[in-house]
Structure 1
Amino acid sequence: MRKRIISLFLILAIYIIASNSTFYTYTIGQNNKWKITQDAYLVSEIILEDAGLYYPEDMYLEGGKLYIADSGNARIVVYDLKTRKYSEVGEWSLFTPTAVFVDDKYIYVADAGLSEIVIFDKEGNEIRRIGKPKSILFGQYTKFKPKKVVVDKRGNFYIVSEGSLDGIIQLDRNGEFLGYFGANKVRITALDKFIDLFYSKQQKERLLTRTPKPYFNIAIDDKGLVYTITQKERGDAIKKHNTLGNNILYLSRLNLMVDEENFVDITVDKEGRIFALTETGLIYEYDQEGNLIFSFGGRAISYDKNGLFSVASSIEVDEEGKIYVLDKEKGIVQVFNPTVYALKIHRALDLYMQGKYIESKSIWEDVLKYDGYSSIIHNGLGKAYFQEGNYKYAALHFKVAYNKREYSNVFWEIRNQFLQNNMKAILIVLFLIFIFYEIVGRILKLKNYKLKITIKNKLLSDIFYLKNILRHPIDSFYYLRKGTYGSILSATIIYGLFAIVVIFDYMGRSFLFNLNTSERSVGYVLLSTIVPVFLWVFSNYLVSSITDGRGTLKNIYIFTAYSFAPYIIFQPFIIFLTYILTYNESFLINFGSFFIISWTLIILFVGVKETHDYHVKGTIGSILYSLIWILVIVLVFSIVYMLWDQIFETVYGIIQEVLYRVR
């Protein structure tokens, strides 16, 4: 009976927590995949329901008060979080306030409708207005529509103006134009680079509009670092600017952040953690380096629920870690309180960011009980073990966190320790191998004896003929065409070897250099390897039939297989090197793979030329036409597949109709 009562209390407690839950809290787990984790925040209350907010655009938290840019009512609402009372500022001075910023003395309001920054004191008295800069450098015809504004400790203004492509407008305390701050870079795609090769300057000016994307919102921290968000960007939607305007957010510079394309607001807490809000109500929390900690919230579609929003527009964080989110459509603010789980992670992160990795270890281990697969937890533990010198466990945690860069540093230490402990044995083994090689060489030389291995089996001889392709490709392809060497069976076996090497190259590399980031299956890799090869064989045969090539379908099938000789023989050594080298030596892996693939393509080129007896120009044409034929075949197959699917559905519908009428 007692157990049943306890169980009932537990169920009731879970229900109460779940009722305040923000649906689900997500984080990044193993292999950089999204996963559900413990609730990081719970909605504690909803405020300003009776304030009559009408399409509020922005919010700022300062001194225990919320300042809300109530755009629809042309006012600033000041809500005291202690007394639960609110007052109004600027109800006769503003038109469409879209942003508010507050410091120790003043309230700064960006009013896009007035095209001005309106400044009030804390009592609500208007102090002055700052309009369009009169500087020649700003430009006579440049628009000034301030949408967002922040002010640093020196009194300088940072203004996001509607449609400004040159960056953030920077003004001094007197409203004088200082210049543009931290403009976005123009993205040049592969297509743009291709167009640049063929278009004239006049054509590019007329047809191409390459302009940087404007910033959407802005924030500033206590250190004077400016944070911006850019919409319709992925990987670097959030930027952290230093005083020169350069982006110093590590993952953002690498275009590797987990972010969204529809961020509408951003804020920073006292510890430097970044909070970004999407219009759909998703809240993203990052550490100082741009690593995702949590993502929660969302849009209320069919019904209202705590933690969900209709149209979210602004976010703020107080000193206790509470999050305030403004709902533009409902005209309310929801308050989120951090759970014990979130507070522990914050504490561990604070120590982590201070470089106190060992001190943070016990907290990380405690948090690991809540979620054993969170990347940020394993990342913290990896750092702690790394500082302790426990490289084995550090590598394990960095691997779970999918942190390849830190794993590389740990692996370097592990490799260094191994070499230091075993260097004598390694040198002795190498010396013995060298001595053995020299002795055998001298004995054979004294006896004037040449070691020659004769392979009597025809099939084995054909397979080992691969090595001749490397040394004498022209002569080797001649003998393949004549039928002296090579057969359908040997070529098929070589294709099998090629497929095995491709599978190991794609799926068998070490963690640092693994290419299988999408976790493709062996069947997928095999299909995506073999199908293009056979399409090439068939397409090249069609082209050679038209262009008087001398090679038959059998010849093409055989020489294509033997063309893979460099890849089959040498790529396994590159795969082996991935287990020895670190990120700092990745050049050797990349260059080696590039060299081997280039060598393979050159041999394939020679094979086409010698098999079909083409000149260089004819060989190039044959290869290009074969590639075009491959595209045509793929296109036709796609069309037939779609039509067949529709025909099947139509026939099935007719049969169903007939059966229904027969009944």
Structure 2
Amino acid sequence: MRKLKGLILILIVSMTLMLFNQKTFASPATFYTMTLNAKGRYVRTQDAYLPDKTNMSLGLKAPEDMIFDEDNHLWIADTGNARIVKYDTYTNSVLGTLTYPEFVTPKGVFVSSRGIYVADSTAKAVFRFDSGMNFVEKYTQPTAISFGDTPFAPSKIVVDNRGNMYIYGEGVNSGIIQLSNRGEFLGYFTTNKIRLNPIQRFYQLIFSQEQFDDIAKRDPATFSSLFIDKNSMIYTTTMSTRFNAIKKHNTQGGNIFDESISGDDARDIYVDAQGIIYAGMQSGTIFVYDQQGRFIFSFGAGSSSTNEDVAGIFSKLAAIAIRNDGRIFALDDQKAFLQSFEPTDYANKIYQAINLYETRQYEAAIDAWNEVLELNQMSVIAHNKIGESYLQIEMYDEAMKHFKLAGNRDGYSVASWEVRNVNIQNSLGLVIILGVSLFAIYTVLKYVDKKTGTYVLPNGETAHGPGKISTYMTPMKNVFKMKFIADLLMIFKVMRHPVDSYYDIKVGKKGSMIAALTIYLVLFLVFINYSANKGFIYQYVAPEDLDITALVLGYFSLTILFVITNYLDTSINDGIGTLKNIFLMFIYSLGPLLIAFAATTALSFVLTQDEVFFLDITMNVGWVWTGILIFIGISETHQYTGKQTLRSIIMSILFLLILAIVLIIIISMWQQLYLFIEAIVKEAIRNVTN
């Protein structure tokens, strides 16, 4: 028994010592991995990276930059200690330090076969050393006239295969400074665009260029970092911008990526050997993109606390670098530590699948992406890449399915066009034969009817005399002459002859309340179908995200309120139309809009992205045509001049808005009152039951 008590005591003491000696780092899952869903919203996904090691033993002070060399050694710009550290991340050992008497604040480091380049903003120079860390030469401010008095404070540097240097200089808004391998100024490689706010755009319209420059002059945003890949492609990041925060430049300096790539605090960028792009945000988040700049996922987090040490959480992320095995290293310049991240199986499967696609192994890529879908069934990038792979192997129906799941309208459009093209080619012969056959039958029947006047009908009866066949269409004509049907079809006559039609409606010759209400309800159904059931390419809002209640209330309230407000306005401004006249006129004016809604809905299932403008034109014509008919209708109904009609429409819309606001306020107050009464009743019931 004593031995048992002693053993328990030893275990308690050991666990207590372990707790006190353990570092304050959290478990591996210290942050979420986020990706985009098909609707473009950030959602949580499987962990792509987990924190690995946090190294605070290197003696760093305000480190600013780092890069892996060809031997996979990490070079760190230890700015606060005015040195460059060569570090082996595998053995966790410092292989050497590069110092130089002229170093003041070395912020940028670049290593290649041409040597070691160090950018020092305070020393206002770029220093070059050989692989043995021996000084070779120094590049100072260019003397070219075109460089002028631009400040030369190199902060980050990259060098291409020819030895040309690309330098991000602090305070330089003209762009990336480009120097030859001899230090000659070659110009500015690229610059950020100036984006004007709405007020500045207004100033630009009303002032001359000189006046605008004096009033609202803006300089382009400066870059925050740059990187060069093995193909000498330049990548840059820009802080304090919502557009073009991460760019990949062509040889002319233009941006290859889409403008939607944003990041308010993009601090650094790195590209691995496969072409995967990693962008480090100063806030601590790392964004990962594929070769085309399409977002894959993001991970990491930041903390404003200076006393909290949690693995994977940064106070101020300064730089990132990627080892050849895919492990990510990130620097925190405020706390001066080096953090590594290990990719999970989820991330490795994604990178493997991307590589298979890029090497044109499409069927293998589909299998690899399906493995990713086993981990995350709604992975947008997986569905996109599977769709692209199916496109390459000409399986367009499958491609359409995956593009739709990914919310990729462009890809869906391409696959849809191919499917439509195949269907047209397969059925074109049949359509031609059918068309020719129908035309031939019609021609023969017409000829026989004209010459012989005899034709055996399907029911066995015989028509005699030239032209007698047409008499059998009389029952159909009689259907169209029925009062209700004729009143319904009046909507088409209004579109062609509005003035005469509105007169007939006003005096009661044509049109009826039953037909108008029928058209009103049909238009409502067509409108709801248009809002929720268009083809995928043109259905920008998913049906499940639509507020059907708002659509219903909006449709009925706006249309009815417009009729009422127009009646109220015209009744005090010598209008002669009754409420019924106005309602009938308004409903019969909606014909073009009804046709536009129906035609757009139908065509949206067969047109591709490049043909969507036909749908836009159809809807615009429908709205404009309807507006013109309403204008003519009000003028004819009330015997107004053009000026009076315009005034009446404007006043009706103003009254409508006022009534809508009043109704919203009343509804909101009733909701608050209902909630208040409900709370009182619940409290009373609770008190009684207790």
Instruction: Say if 1:175 and 1:542 are closer, same or farther in 2 by CA, change over 3 A.
Output: farther
Aligned to 1:331: 336
Moved more, 342-351 or 70-79: 70-79
Aligned counterpart, 1:139: 148
Provide, for residues 366-385 of structure 1, a one-character-per-residue CA deviation record: whole Å limited to 9, x for no partner. 33322222122222322333
The change in CA–CA distance for 1:186 and 1:543 in structure 2 (over 3 A counts) is farther
Distance 2:219 2:636 in 1: 50
2:237 corresponding residue in structure 1 = 229
Aligned equivalents of 1:622, 1:121: Cα separation in 2? 83
The amino acid across from 1:41 in the alignment is Y
Instruction: Decide whether aligned partners of structure 1 residues 421 and 215 sit closer, same or farther in structure 2, where only a CA change above 3 A counts.
Output: same
What does residue 54 of structure 1 align with?
61
The equivalences for 1:374-385 within 5 A come to 374-385=379-390
Spell out, residue by residue over 1:619-642, the C-alpha distance to the aligned partner (whole angstroms, 9 max, x if none): 444444555555556667778888
**CA separation of 1:421 and 1:280: change in aligned 2, threshold 3 A:** same
Give 1:218's match in structure 2, choosing from 187, 204, 226: 226
1:130 aligned onto 2:151? no
- 2:369 corresponds to: 364
Match of 1:111 among 117, 120, 129: 120
Deviation of residue 609 (structure 1)?
3.3
The structure with more radius of gyration: 2
Task: Give the C-alpha shift of residue 170 in structure 1.
Answer: 1.6
Task: Say which of 169, 176, 193 aligns to 2:177.
Answer: 169
Match of 2:635 in 1: 609
Does the C-alpha gap of structure 1 residues 37 and 85 become closer, same or farther in structure 2, counting only changes over 3 Å? same
> Is residue 269 from structure 1 mapped to residue 272 from structure 2 by the alignment?
yes
**CA–CA separation in structure 2 for the residues paired with 1:517 and 1:139:** 55
Q: Using the TM superposition, name which of 166-175 and 545-554 deviates more.
A: 545-554
AA in 2 matched with 1:59: M
For each residue in 1:395-445, what CA deviation from the matched residue of structure 2 results, as whole angstroms up to 9, or x when unmatched? 222221222222222222322332333334333444455567668888699
Instruction: Quote the Cα distance in structure 1 between the aligned partners of 2:28 and 2:172.
Output: 41
1:23 match: 31
**Secondary structure in 1 aligned to 2:418?**
helix
Partner of residue 321, structure 2: 316
**Secondary structure in structure 1 of the residue aligned to 2:537:** helix
Mapping 1:181-196, distance limit 5 Å: 181-187=189-195
Q: Following TM superposition, by how much is the alpha carbon of 1:111 offset from its aligned partner in structure 2, in angstroms? A: 2.9
Corresponding letter in the other structure for 2:493: N
**How has the CA–CA distance of structure 1 residues 646 and 581 changed in structure 2, closer, same or farther, with 3 Å as cutoff?**
closer
Q: Match for 1:278 among 276, 281, 286?
A: 281
Q: Give the structure 2 partner of residue 13 of structure 1.
A: none
2:217 to 209, 214, 219: 209
Deviation sequence 1:48-70 (CA, Å, 0-9, x none)? x0233333222222233322233
Percentage of matched positions with identical amino acids: 37
Find the aligned partners of 1:597 and 1:328 in 2 and give their Cα distance.
58
Give the structure 1 partner of residue 396 of structure 2.
Answer: 391
**Structure 1: unaligned runs, 5 residues or longer:** 1-17, 657-663
Alpha-carbon distance change, 166 to 507 in structure 1, aligned in 2, over 3 angstroms: farther
Structure 1 length-normalised TM: 0.84
Equivalent residues of 2:116, 2:130 under 8 A apart: yes
Give the whole-Å Cα distance in 2 for the aligned partners of 1:209 and 1:322: 44
Aligned-residue CA RMSD (Å): 3.7
Residue pair 2:144, 2:185 contacting (<8 A) in 1 also: yes
TM-score with structure 2 setting the length: 0.81
Query: Residue deviations 1:294-336, cap 9 Å, x none?
Result: 2111124675432222221211112111111112222111111
User: Which position in structure 2 is the counterpart of 1:78?
Assistant: 86
Distance 1:227 1:643, change over 3 A: farther
1:471, distance to aligned residue in structure 2 (A)? 0.8
**CA distance 1:511–1:546, shift in 2 (3 Å):** same
- Contact conserved, 1:231 with 1:261, CA < 8 A, in 2? yes
Match of 1:347 among 345, 349, 352: 352
Paired position in structure 1 for 2:8: none
Tell me, in whole angstroms, the C-alpha distance in 2 between the residues paired with 1:209 and 1:353.
44
Asked whether the 8 Å contact 2:66–2:77 carries over to 1, the reply is: yes
- Aligned CA distance change for structure 1 residues 558 and 188 (closer, same or farther; 3 Å): farther
Select between 592-601 and 276-285 the one with higher mean Cα deviation: 592-601
1:503 aligns with 2:528: yes
Aligned AA (1:240): K
- For the residue of structure 2 that corresponds to 1:19, the secondary structure is coil
Does 1:582 find its partner at 2:608? Answer: yes
Cα distance in 2 between the residues matched to 1:35 and 1:560: 46
State how far apart, in whole Å, the 1-side matches of 2:609 and 2:554 are: 28
For residues 4-19 of structure 1, the aligned pairs below 5 Å read 19=27
Paired AA for residue 177 in structure 1? F
Separation in structure 1 between the aligned mates of residue 658 and residue 222 of structure 2, nearest angstrom: 41
Shift of 1:523: 2.5
Question: Gapped runs of 5+ residues in structure 2?
Answer: 1-25, 451-465, 683-690
Which residue does 1:11 correspond to in 2?
none
Kept in 1: contact 2:356–2:364 (CA 8 A):
yes
Change (3 A) 1:536 1:129: farther
Tell me which of 515, 522, 525 is aligned to 2:540. Answer: 515
